[in-house]
Chain A
Amino acid sequence: MRFPFSQTKGIKDHILTSVFIFLGLIMLVSRHDEGLQNVRKASITVFSYLEEPLSNIRVYRTALKTNRQLHEQNIILLDELSRLRSAREQNIELKRLLDFKESSEHDVDILPVKVVGKNLTGINNFMSINVGSNDSVEVGMPVINPSGLVGRVVDVSANYAQVMPFLNPLFRVSSRIQETRAYGVVSWESQKLDELVMNYVPQTIPVEIGAIVETSGYSQKFPVNIPIGQVIRTAPDPGLQTQRIYLKPFVSLFEIAEASVMKYTGNPEVDSLRINFMERY
């Protein structure tokens, strides 16, 4: 066995290592730069091409389970639908009496997609889907499935798109608790693979275990009323007057094989008002 650094001829290896380490550091530091976006797009395409055959196996494997779940969900939804229909009629009538301004919240196209690649290792989790700019998919569009929110599109190539799922430390979604309408922001703390956390909800607001958390639509990044998860526990935020609400997400990213892209890009008018406000104050 030789000892390290004992050979002078090894100087070439030292220089080579330094060059490679330097290259790695440059890649690490500049990974979010605009200049790398084209390389990223190419890498999404390569990754998706490689993973696509495996995604077919995943689709078949989950098809039976999904079918059973959808069947059960369908029965529950039919019952809920009939109750909602009567509530809607009543709501329309009451709004008409109050002269309330109606806004269409879910009037967006939905594009069914197949998940062709997944990288859910815990470090920089992402997924690839088989639609891209050729299908009018844009960066920022929400991705959902029948159970709820999956993530949002963060990069698009011609035929594929990269999705940042909710299990990513950079993911944030403006949300609210269905019953109380208390507003907060849901994110993933990288602690557990089946737990999200909702922040900024005051401790004065009572939150029941089992309450449903959905998108609030306030951020203009996601439409309102997309289910995210169910409250499993709460804890006071140390040193703050807010609480941390822990959720179990409705969607299991490890089992998902198909999803839908919502062609929703927010309301530019509301966005411009917000930008003006930020600039002014």
Chain B
Amino acid sequence: MPYSALKYILWAALVVLLQLLIFRHLRFFGAEPDFVLVYLIWIMATKDRTTALYHSAAMAFMLDVILDHWGIHILAKVATVFLAYNFIPKITETKLLFTQVFFVILLVALFHNLIFLGVATFAQSRVDIIFWNFLIGNAFFTSIIGSFVYLFKSN
């Protein structure tokens, strides 16, 4: 296995672990950040689409199996990466401002959460109770976390 592939796998596993052990428990008014999505946006902004798709499928599969969601994360994350890839500004081309990063993550997170809720409804889960919290709350929380990670990383 090439060194770069191994490095990607380890990073992906670490991000999933961080999401499961830390970020999933940072609940604020019922909203929780999706650090995996932040990492996928960073992959989309720095790597090619094929790499981003592999990352999204592998990480979503891990989340699905561990959180007993079975397919909901895969469908939501793969569809988000596939459809949003061309609209994500590439970090290698330009250096983005804090607000730009915030709004990019917010839009992608809103789009992802909408697909996630749609798939969850299709999977016979009633999502009325968490709809707005999940759609808006999670998206805002994810963008705040993602923007600060970008800020510290770029500094």
A residues touching B (Cβ–Cβ < 8 Å)?
1-4, 10, 12-13, 16-17, 20-21, 23-29, 31, 36, 39-40, 43, 46-47, 50-51, 54, 119, 121-124, 126, 162, 169, 189-193
Contacts and interface: CB of A to CB of B under 8 A. Distances in A.
Interface string B55-73: 0110010001111111110
Given A20-B78, A122-B130, A169-B125, A28 B71 contact: yes
Given A1-B86, A28-B123, A123-B130, A13 B71 contact: no
Interface stretch (B3-11, B17-25, B139-147): B17-25
Contact of B78 (A4, A17, A54, A192): A17
Contact of B83 (A4, A10, A20, A29): A4
Given A1-B89, A2-B86, A123-B130, A13 B49 contact: yes
Sort chain B's interface into a size bin. 35 or more
A47 B66 contact: yes
13 contacts: A1-B87, A13-B49, A20-B57, A24-B74, A24-B78, A27-B74, A43-B66, A47-B66, A50-B66, A122-B134, A126-B68, A169-B126, A190-B127
B98 interface: no
Which of A28, A29, A54, A126 is most buried by chain B, counting CB atoms within 10 A of its CB?
A28
A13 B65 contact: no
Contacts of A51: 20
* Majority DSSP secondary structure for residues of B touching A: helix
A191 B70 CA distance: 23
B129 A193 contact: yes
